[in-house]
């Protein structure tokens, strides 16, 4: 059973701090990794995609991928109350046919 | 560009009744997904279509759930008969690129979802 694991949280950080969200996956053949954000009562929306080992930065968001250790993380710098949401990690399986989703980590940014 | 459309947005039924959900993907998107999301959990893939063919339905409870995408565009998901544990949000998503491409960037765009309550 291919799995994606996330700490459910809630993760609570003060405004302006760095929020660090982690995700581990079991399928060593996975090559594509996604972070989706889901506000309460809304649908998921893609915020980061990463394919290569290392870091990928987009504004205040940085995704980090380590395929040898099978983990992917999301860093949110200068966290804002508007970042309060559930962050879902999704990993494309090694057959490249479907996404395996984590349960999500709830993030609360306190003013 | 119009997004993924779903209807209805909300549905309340009694157990053992039937219900159907409709989804219209973004124009040109060949891949369509139906997910079930129970409160506090991540999305669970029920079925994935590539055009009008089924790519994956391994987690679809086929004794009560069915889905079709006859013309390769819009899709319907049906539950018959519904159980209490089917209460969830049913999300439809679509993507443009071939999900079979290695490293493919197939961003999934989600519709607003249908919140189903089974009493």
Arithmetic mean of pLDDT, A73-81: 97
3-state secondary structure A45-84: EEEEEECCCEEEEECCEEEEEECCCCEEEEEECCCCHHHC
Selection from B118, B4, B9 nearest residue B64 by Cα: B118
- Write down the pLDDT at residue B104: 57
Distance in Å, alpha carbon of A24 to nearest chain B alpha carbon? 15
Indicate whether A99 pLDDT > 90. no
Number of Cβ pairs < 8 A linking chain A and chain B: 56
Distance in Å, alpha carbon of B113 to nearest chain A alpha carbon? 7
**Total residues belonging to chain B:** 119
Contacts of A79 (CB under 8 A, 6+ apart): A13, A14, A15, A16, A17, A18, A19, A107, A109
Share of chain A above pLDDT 90, in %: 76
> Interface of chain A against chain B, CB under 8 Å?
8, 31-32, 34, 42-46, 49, 51, 88, 92, 96-99, 101-104
- Write down the pLDDT at residue A11: 95
- Search chain B and give the residue with CA nearest A99: B45
Arithmetic mean of pLDDT, A79-108: 91
Tens-place pLDDT, residues B74-112: 999 999 999 999 999 999 999 986 555 555 567 899 999
**Rounded distance between C-alpha atoms, residue B28 and residue B25, angstroms:** 8
User: Residue B23 in 3-state DSSP?
Assistant: strand
**Rounded distance between C-alpha atoms, residue B12 and residue B87, angstroms:** 9
Nearest to A103 among B41, B55, B107 (CB): B41
Query: Residue A104: pLDDT band by 50, 70, 90 thresholds?
Result: very high
| Residues 38-77 of chain B whose Cβ lies under 8 A from any Cβ of chain A | 40-45, 48, 55-56
Tens-place pLDDT, residues B12-58: 999 999 999 999 999 989 999 999 999 888 899 999 998 889 988 99
- Write down the pLDDT at residue A44: 95
């Amino acid at each position: 059973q291919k799995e994606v694991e996330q700490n459910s949280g809630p993760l609570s950080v003060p405004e302006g701090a760095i929020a660090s969200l982690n995700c581990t996956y079991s399928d060593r053949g996975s090559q594509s990794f996604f972070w989706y954000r889901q506000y309460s009562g809304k649908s998921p929306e893609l915020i980061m995609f990463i394919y290569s080992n290392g870091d990928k930065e987009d504004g205040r968001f940085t995704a980090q991928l380590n395929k040898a250790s099978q983990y992917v993380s999301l860093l949110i710098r200068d966290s804002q109350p508007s970042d309060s949401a559930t962050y879902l990690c999704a990993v494309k399986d090694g057959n490249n046919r479907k996404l395996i989703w984590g349960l999500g980590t709830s993030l609360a940014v306190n003013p | 560009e119009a997004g993924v459309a779903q209807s209805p947005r909300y549905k309340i039924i009694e157990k053992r009744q039937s219900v159907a959900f409709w989804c219209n993907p973004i124009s040109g998107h060949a891949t369509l997904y139906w997910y079930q999301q129970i409160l506090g959990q991540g999305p669970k893939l029920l079925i994935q279509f590539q055009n009008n063919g089924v790519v994956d339905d391994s987690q679809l409870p086929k004794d009560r759930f069915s889905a079709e995408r006859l013309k390769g565009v819009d899709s319907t998901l049906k539950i018959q008969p519904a159980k209490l544990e089917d209460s969830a949000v049913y999300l439809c998503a679509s993507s443009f690129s071939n999900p079979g491409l290695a490293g493919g960037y197939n961003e999934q765009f989600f519709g607003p979802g249908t919140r189903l309550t089974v009493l």
